């Protein structure tokens, strides 16, 4: 039977402390005990349903984690203060000094910088490969490799990972396949395709209101317990805990994710088709011209489309900047990094979210100066948006 991630969220039932339709928010950093023994047992992890201290766990964070695990089809999940606060502990938990990672070369700039500049301080080294070429991925594996790392749809080039294929390679070599699914929530469910660990920056589509940062790691109970272990758990000890008030507000936004993703995807496909027909170099997984269009179709949960992210290339950074400024002046969206907002957001990744990647490597991976990354908004009238964007492009001689 087809995997139905939004049903899994819908089917959870919560009641607040006083019968409220939303769970009560646990606005406390610490918890009292009627007996010292129960406190000890809780610390040891032997008192189910008791809370000790909110960096360890809190009811609000557990509710949100439970909903995200239901969405991804994993046993459980651990929420964190940011997407990077989810990614970095996973890597530090799975790798020790001397270990090796095979990573997609097109990933979020912060993750790239972590692998390239930070983990080598602990003698954890990464080979960056073209993730769409499974033979290159396998060839990069060494006896020290522990992880294959990728994004389902990559930031910013929108390369699509063959999660089934990568999972087979990971299994064959005894590795963990870690997938960042930030760009394609609901559309792609990596765990159902064989990923061991699924990560999101909740900052983006899942929260959807650009008012907080947040992250989550979805995985097995055993792995999440490891992350939370008071003695050697990377999430516990590195301490990137989400605040309870935020967890409660993200949970409320999560309930409309299915409707929002449908609209983001509808608008994304509409604009991508129009831009391509205009002759703009357009990348969108929903276009037949996308090299992984067919692959995406085999992996996707059909109700949610190809997502809200697209790129166009207008030739130079100067033109890209002019266009973005004009679009913002015409209230077509914001010149801003990040994604998943109700307004369209646009930025030139080469000089912003991917600036951690050296220029030469940007060129090699096809990240050109004139590339503009769009996170398409929830516009009710996307035809009007297109017409206004088209006028901006004509005015700047990007289109005739
Ligand atoms: N993963 C992806 C694909 C991202 O785009 C980002 C942020 O832009 C992150 C992870 C990091 O998330 P956060 O900014 O919430 O730490």
Domain's final residue, options 204, 231, 254: 254
Structure tokens at 379: 């516009």
In a domain, 128, yes or no: yes
Pocket test residue of 108, 156, 197, 246 for ligand 1, highest count of atoms within 8 A of CB: 108
Residue-level pLDDT at 2: 87
Residues 6+ positions from 340 with CB-CB distance below 8 Å: 203, 204, 205, 206, 207, 208, 210, 264, 308, 375
**Which residue owns the Cα nearest ligand 1 atom 15?**
83
- Tell me if 343 sits within 8 A of 334, measured CB to CB: yes
In a domain, 312, yes or no: yes
Query: DSSP secondary-structure letter at 287?
Result: S
Structure tokens at 64: 């949100």
Residue-level pLDDT at 44: 83
Residue-level pLDDT at 47: 80
In a domain, 175, yes or no: yes
Model pTM above 0.85: yes
Same domain, 223 and 304: no
Residue-level pLDDT at 158: 97
* Ligand 1 residue neighbourhood (C-beta within 6 Å): 82-84, 108, 110-111, 151, 155, 180, 182-183, 201, 203, 213, 215, 353
**Which residue owns the Cα nearest ligand 1 atom 8?**
338
Domain's final residue, options 254, 289, 305: 254
- Tell me if 102 sits within 8 A of 137, measured CB to CB: yes
Same domain, 214 and 273: no
Pocket test residue of 81, 87, 110 for ligand 1, highest count of atoms within 8 A of CB: 110
Question: What is the Cα 329 distance to its own chain's centre?
Answer: 29
Q: In ligand 1, which atom is closest to the CA atom of 203?
A: 15
In a domain, 264, yes or no: yes
Domain's final residue, options 232, 254, 276: 254
Residue-level pLDDT at 14: 87
What separation in Å is there between the alpha carbon of 208 and the centre of ligand 1?
Answer: 13
Place of tokens 């928010």: 25
Give strand ranges (E) for the chain.
76-80, 100-104, 125-129, 145-151, 176-180, 197-201, 215-219, 281-283, 309-313, 334-335, 345-347, 371-375
Residue 168: C-alpha distances to residues 134, 195, 234, 331 (Å):
10, 10, 27, 46
In a domain, 400, yes or no: no
Q: What is the CATH number of the domain that holds 162?
A: 3.40.640.10
Pocket test residue of 68, 81, 83 for ligand 1, highest count of atoms within 8 A of CB: 83
Same domain, 38 and 86: yes
What separation in Å is there between the alpha carbon of 200 and the centre of ligand 1?
Answer: 8
Same domain, 186 and 268: no
Domain count of the chain?
2
pLDDT under 70 in the chain at which residues? none
Residue-level pLDDT at 364: 85
Which residue range forms the structural domain that includes residue 359? Answer: 258-395
Same domain, 99 and 180: yes
Q: Residue 120 class from Cβ within 10 Å (0-12 exposed, 13-18 middle, 19+ buried)?
A: exposed
In a domain, 156, yes or no: yes
Same domain, 136 and 276: no
Same domain, 47 and 141: yes
* Parallel/antiparallel/unpaired status of strands 100-104 and 125-129: parallel
Residue-level pLDDT at 353: 79
Residue 61: C-alpha distances to residues 21, 57, 160 (Å):
17, 7, 31
Residue-level pLDDT at 366: 83
pLDDT tens for residues 326-376?
Answer: 999 999 999 999 999 999 999 999 887 788 888 888 888 888 999 999 999
- Identify which of 220, 217, 178, 224 has the alpha carbon closest to the alpha carbon of residue 79: 217
What separation in Å is there between the alpha carbon of 211 and the centre of ligand 1?
Answer: 14
pLDDT tens for residues 3-17?
Answer: 999 999 999 998 999
Same domain, 262 and 246: no
Q: What is the CATH number of the domain that holds 379?
A: 3.90.1150.10
Same domain, 177 and 316: no
Pocket test residue of 200, 202, 204, 349 for ligand 1, highest count of atoms within 8 A of CB: 204
Half-sphere exposure (CA, 13 Å, Cβ side) for 266? Answer: 13
Same domain, 216 and 276: no
**Which residue owns the Cα nearest ligand 1 atom 5?**
108
What separation in Å is there between the alpha carbon of 126 and the centre of ligand 1?
Answer: 19
Please give the Cα distance from 105 to 108 (Å, whole number): 9
Residue 342: C-alpha distances to residues 89, 302, 372 (Å):
30, 22, 18
**Which residue owns the Cα nearest ligand 1 atom 11?**
83
Same domain, 301 and 362: yes
Same domain, 153 and 174: yes
Query: DSSP secondary-structure letter at 316?
Result: S
């Amino acid at each position: 039977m087809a995997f139905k991630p939004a049903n899994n969220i819908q089917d959870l039932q919560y009641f607040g402390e006083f019968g409220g339709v939303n769970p009560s928010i646990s606005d406390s950093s610490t918890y009292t005990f009627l007996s010292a023994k129960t406190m000890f047992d809780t610390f040891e992890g032997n008192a189910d349903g008791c809370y000790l201290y909110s960096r360890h766990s809190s009811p609000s964070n557990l509710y949100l984690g439970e909903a995200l695990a239901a969405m991804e089809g994993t046993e459980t999940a651990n929420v964190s203060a940011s997407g990077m606060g989810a990614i970095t502990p996973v890597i530090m938990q799975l790798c020790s000094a001397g270990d090796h990672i095979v990573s997609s070369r097109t990933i979020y700039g912060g993750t790239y910088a972590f692998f390239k500049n930070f983990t080598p301080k602990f003698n954890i080294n990464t080979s960056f490969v073209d993730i769409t070429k499974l033979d290159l991925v396998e060839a990069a594996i060494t006896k020290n490799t522990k992880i294959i790392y990728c994004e389902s749809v990559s930031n910013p080039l929108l390369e699509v990972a063959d999660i089934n294929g990568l999972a087979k390679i990971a299994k064959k070599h005894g590795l963990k396949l870690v997938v960042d699914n930030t760009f394609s929530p609901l559309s792609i469910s990596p765990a159902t395709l064989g990923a061991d660990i699924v990560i999101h920056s909740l900052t983006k589509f899942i929260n959807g209101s650009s008012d907080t940062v947040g992250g989550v790691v979805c995985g097995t109970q055993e792995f999440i317990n490891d992350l939370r272990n008071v003695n050697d758990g990377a999430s516990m000890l590195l301490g990137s805990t989400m605040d309870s008030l935020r967890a409660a507000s993200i949970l409320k936004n999560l309930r409309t994710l299915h409707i929002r993703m449908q609209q983001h995807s509808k608008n994304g496909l509409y604009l991508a088709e129009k831009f391509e027909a205009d002759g703009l170099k357009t990348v969108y997984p929903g276009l037949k011209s996308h090299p992984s269009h067919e692959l995406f179709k085999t992996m996707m949960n059909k109700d949610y489309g190809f997502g809200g992210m697209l790129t166009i290339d207008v030739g130079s950074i100067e033109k890209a900047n002019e266009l973005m400024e004009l679009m913002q002046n015409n209230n077509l969206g914001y010149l801003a990094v990040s994604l998943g907002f109700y307004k369209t957001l646009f930025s030139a990744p080469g000089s912003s979210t991917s600036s951690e990647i050296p220029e030469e490597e940007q060129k090699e991976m096809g990240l050109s100066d004139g590339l503009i990354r769009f996170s398409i908004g929830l516009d009710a009238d996307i035809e009007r948006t297109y017409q206004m964007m088209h006028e901006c492009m004509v005015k700047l001689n990007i289109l005739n």
